[in-house]
Amino acid sequence: MSLDAVGLEVMGHAFASVAEEMGLVLIHSAVSPNIRERRDCSAALFDAAGEMIAQAAHIPVHLGALHESVAAVRARAPAPGDVFVLNDPYAGGSHLPDITLVGAVEVDGAVGGYGVVRAHHSDVGGMQAGSMPAGAREIFAEGVVVPPLRLTPDVERFLLANVRTPEARRADLAAQRAAVERGADGLRALAARHGWAALREAARDLQAYAERRAREALGRLAATGLTATDWLEGDGVDDTDLAIHVRVDIRDGVFHVDFTGTAPAARGNVNCPLAVARSAVLFVVRTLLPEDVPTNGGVTRVVRVTAPEGCMVHARFPSAVAAGNVETSQRIVDTVFLALARGGVPVPAQGQGTMNNVSFGGTRDDGPGTGGWTYYETIGGGQGASHGAPGPSGVHVGMSNTRNTPIEVLEMEYPLRLKAYALRRGSGGVGKWSGGEGVIREFEALAAMDASVLSDRRRHAPCGAGGGGAGAPGRTLVNGAPLPPKASTRLTAGDVVRVETPGGGGWGQPEPGGQR
């Protein structure tokens, strides 16, 4: 290793600052609230070999799977300066609304690295506005499938011809392209300052350093044969529980999770590609490492994930996957944490364990103006408490790291009114340290529209830890009538959708004389 401790810190922040700037360019250039306000997007830098150098502090379910996107693009032999677009979950993507741009950075006439941005677009076609339909049985119902392709004007025209909101999608794609270009400029600026050979060596040093630190941390947690099972509550077609089973082995500084015993691929859309399962496991590993360990390709070297092909977390084409990225990823995290807790590893109690995905959309006839419209958001809830601290309330938990949509923006741009938005008092699990409170968010439809909800933890409450109590399960209601965890419905003007999100589990026995 050629960099000393100071050099590692300086270069680590230098690379990370480029990734952060990419993210800021995307956020401040996008027009859709889901990217501009909620920041449902991610950015990262990769080296020429396809290993991550640095990432911005964005969305875990995005970032952990970007390696697969770069690998898929590298298989297409990109030329320096090429920009590729993809969303195919079976060729480097996660689920169809997450459109990824991968730019091959030109340095001295060769590909010196890759700038990558992923953003959740609020519509990519499919059977229902918002492209998150609860009843999808195959991927074709969820939207247009884009394998890794060079982003040419013709490819963009094809993509925009298959969505309900082409102007918004065009603007957001332009913002993504600008972010990729900013990443290329930043990487070339670092090369001009330090020299390209020195920059490549610095990236390798940072990856080796992260791997060494990760192996050291995991070496102190050596454990084998830790198992757990948790449940997904239906798949949007069938409302029966689906098992996610894990076995965790930590040996020689490697964190291995095996999913043998997990349910076969479902008829609905809770399936996910193995890249998403790996992303969830990587998130758990990241929580076990010291904060100063950089997150890059070195950390991924200590993570091993295996699963039977064709099971729910290693789905085959053309299984539907829209909810797998957002809900199954959350349950994987919960299940791995549960196995670790049973093995005595100090981890937090379970958080809300769902993203509470809500989509609304209208056609040309019942939307504002002259075109169709779509809106998508996820809703925060309670985080699980840990040994020494209560769980935060009203936050996005686990594989999500987005913000909320401001009420003013929502009501100004869409035919929706927020009737209530508050913490759900009493929903956090009791304990020496209490779980975080969930959220109440109530939407009134001001016009006819379609609505879709993809959620979980409506039957199985988030578990406490160390003797702490469970958080309250969530509820979704339309005009007071409960909906299944995953459902699509038609709304008319005046209908009210109320989402009550789960609380987090508590940690430790409650103090004598009080519940919390």
- pLDDT score of 367: 43
CA proximity to 516, closest of 425, 394, 403 = 425
235 is a domain residue: no
Asked whether residue 366 carries a pLDDT value surpassing 80, the answer given is no
Mean pLDDT value of segment 96-100: 97
272 is a domain residue: no
299 is a domain residue: no
- 137-192, pLDDT tens digit by residue? 999 999 999 999 999 999 999 999 999 999 999 999 999 999 999 999 999 999 99
- pLDDT score of 365: 59
305 is a domain residue: no
CA proximity to 38, closest of 58, 18, 15 = 58
- 241-262, pLDDT tens digit by residue? 999 999 999 999 999 999 999 9
- pLDDT score of 205: 97
> In whole angstroms, what is the distance from residue 86 CA to residue 76 CA?
12
Per-residue pLDDT band for 65 (boundaries 50, 70, 90) equals confident
State phi, psi for 361 to the nearest 5 degrees: -165, 150
Q: Give how far the C-alpha of residue 510 lies from the chain's centroid of Cα atoms, to the nearest Å.
A: 33
Ranges 112-121, 297-306, 326-335, 361-370: which has the least confidence: 361-370
Q: Give how far the C-alpha of residue 144 lies from the chain's centroid of Cα atoms, to the nearest Å.
A: 20
Domain that holds residue 136: 5-211
Query: What percent of the chain shows pLDDT beyond 90?
Result: 91
Question: How many domains are there within the chain?
Answer: 2
Residue 96 DSSP SS3: coil
CA proximity to 116, closest of 160, 50, 28 = 50
Asked whether residue 515 carries a pLDDT value surpassing 80, the answer given is no
Asked whether residue 214 carries a pLDDT value surpassing 60, the answer given is yes
24 is a domain residue: yes
12: Cβ–Cβ under 8 A, 6 or more apart, which residues? 54, 206, 294
Please state, rounded to an integer, the average pLDDT across all residues of the chain. 95
Q: What's the token pair of residue 39?
A: 């920041």
Ranges 205-219, 366-380, 495-509: which has the least confidence: 366-380
Asked whether residue 432 carries a pLDDT value surpassing 50, the answer given is yes
192 is a domain residue: yes
Mean pLDDT value of segment 195-214: 96
Residue 320 DSSP SS3: coil
Residue 489 DSSP SS3: strand
Mark which of 193, 211, 229 sits at the end of a domain.
211
Our CA angle for 151, 153, 157, nearest 5°, is 100
Match 């996005």 to its residue by tokens. 396
Mark which of 211, 238, 272 sits at the end of a domain.
211
Q: What's the token pair of residue 380?
A: 């925060």
The dihedral of CA 224, 230, 236, 239: what is its sign?
Answer: positive
pTM exceeds 0.85: yes
- pLDDT score of 368: 45
60 is a domain residue: yes
3-state helix, strand, coil in the chain (%, to 5): 30, 25, 45
231 is a domain residue: no
Mark which of 181, 211, 241 sits at the end of a domain.
211
- pLDDT score of 364: 54
